[in-house]
A = this chain, B = another copy of it.
Amino acid sequence: MKAHTEYLWFNTKRRKELVHITDSVEAAVEKSGVKEGFALVSAMHITAAVFVNDYEEGLWSDIMEWAEKVAPEKPDYRHHRTGETNADAHLKRLLLGHQVLLPITGGKLDLGPWEKVFYAEFDGQRRKRVIVKIMGE
């Protein structure tokens, strides 16, 4: 069994931003030498998400607007009594999910034709990490 671990770092310009990371994950799979296995991609900060969806800019706006509607920014979250202002970002991570597990077959990510991997930042403008952990043979 082989295991390979990498950390992807992000420091987005805007507070909320989507980053396309399929290529970085593919590169990690290649480095790992794993032919059959799983790649876990998981946001290590609790105000960010990771998901698999379409590479289409209009949809990216739809996703960010939808997340805002379902888990809105507002001042009166209890979490804000600690001095924080990002409770909505914690909820958005729960809504979209903070991790995906990608199958590896024949040494490649075994994704559907339009499946692309995204990092969703909801409280950025500082250095944050995603773990990519690959296991298999």
Contact check, B45 vs A94: say whether CB atoms are below 8 A apart.
Answer: no
* Number of chain A residues close to chain B: CB under 8 A: 58
Interface residues of A in 12-53 (CB under 8 A from B): 36-38, 40, 42-46, 51-53
Contact check, A37 vs B103: say whether CB atoms are below 8 A apart.
Answer: no
A137 vs B71: C-alpha distance in the bound complex, in angstroms? 40
1/0 per residue A106-121: CB within 8 Å of B?
A: 0000111111000000
Number of copies of this kind of chain in the complex: 3
Which DSSP category, helix, strand, loop or mixed, fits chain A's interface? mixed
Contact check, B58 vs A80: say whether CB atoms are below 8 A apart.
Answer: yes
Contact check, B44 vs A133: say whether CB atoms are below 8 A apart.
Answer: no
A135 vs B44: C-alpha distance in the bound complex, in angstroms? 21
Tell whether A9 is near chain B: CB-to-CB under 8 Å: no
State how many angstroms separate the Cβ of A76 from the closest Cβ of chain B. 10
**Cross-chain contact of A133 among B70, B93, B110 (Cβ < 8 A):** B110
